[in-house]
Structure 1
Amino acid sequence: MIDKTAMIANVMATQPTGNVGGAGAVNKGQGPEGSFTDVIGKMLENSSKASATADDFAQRLQMNDPKVSLEQTVLAMNSASLQFTAVVQTRNKVLQAYNDIMNMPV
């Protein structure tokens, strides 16, 4: 029997936490979690780790490893997908903001 609470806790542990910005977060170009570059780097690293974990679970499931369940594999794959989507959406918003600033009349 698989402990689903522990499985969900493991998936949630890979999620980035904390406040990325907000009122009072700017202090010489750095927020409570570091600079914007550091935050994006952590997001990319977490996304990469989640993807590697999902791939590992999928491979182990295909090899009939009794320690890996279908539910655990699907949760890991969905977590990796959501993290990657968050990274892509963040990139899109940053590029859109850059384009908006560059197109402002002087």
Structure 2
Amino acid sequence: MKTQLIDTSRIEAMMAQLKSAATRPQGGVNPVATDAGTTSTKKVGFGEALKASLDQVNQTQQKSEQLGQAFMMGDDKVSLSDVMISMQKANINFQATVQVRNKLVSAYHDIMNMQV
């Protein structure tokens, strides 16, 4: 059984992506003006960024499922290649998410085992 499907550089890249998503304003909202007249962006916590990432993975999987069902129902607008590509994207997103989860659990265990 393979225990490491994605190398650590890809996990680190995904973590960097999560951090950049956390600093980006959500929904195209313009930066909020403060009393001093300067602009600042709303800080997004790690939990919110993680939830947004998981929601995106969920949406990818649902889209893949919908395309598969449309193809099985005989929809001429959906090709087999579109269905297969969508399923592979959903699978890759899910596998990357599992690897990030594994890395987070490992980091949690490392922190909990530290001597204070």
TM over 0.5: yes
**Kept in 2: contact 1:50–1:79 (CA 8 A):** yes
What are the residue-to-residue correspondences of 1:19-98 with 2, within 5 Å? 19-21=17-19, 31-33=22-24, 34-98=44-108
Question: What is the letter of the counterpart of residue 97 of structure 1?
Answer: A
Name which one, 1 or 2, has greater alpha-carbon Rg: 2
After TM superposition, the score normalised by the length of structure 1 is: 0.69
* 1:20 alignment partner, SS class: helix
Question: What is the letter of the counterpart of residue 36 of structure 1?
Answer: F
Consecutive unaligned residues in structure 1, runs of 5 or more: 1-15, 26-30
Question: What is the letter of the counterpart of residue 92 of structure 2?
Answer: L
Between the aligned partners of 1:50 and 1:79, the Cα distance in structure 2 is: 7
Between the aligned partners of 1:67 and 1:94, the Cα distance in structure 2 is: 41
How far residue 88 of structure 1 moved from its aligned partner, in angstroms, is 1.2
After TM superposition, the score normalised by the length of structure 2 is: 0.63
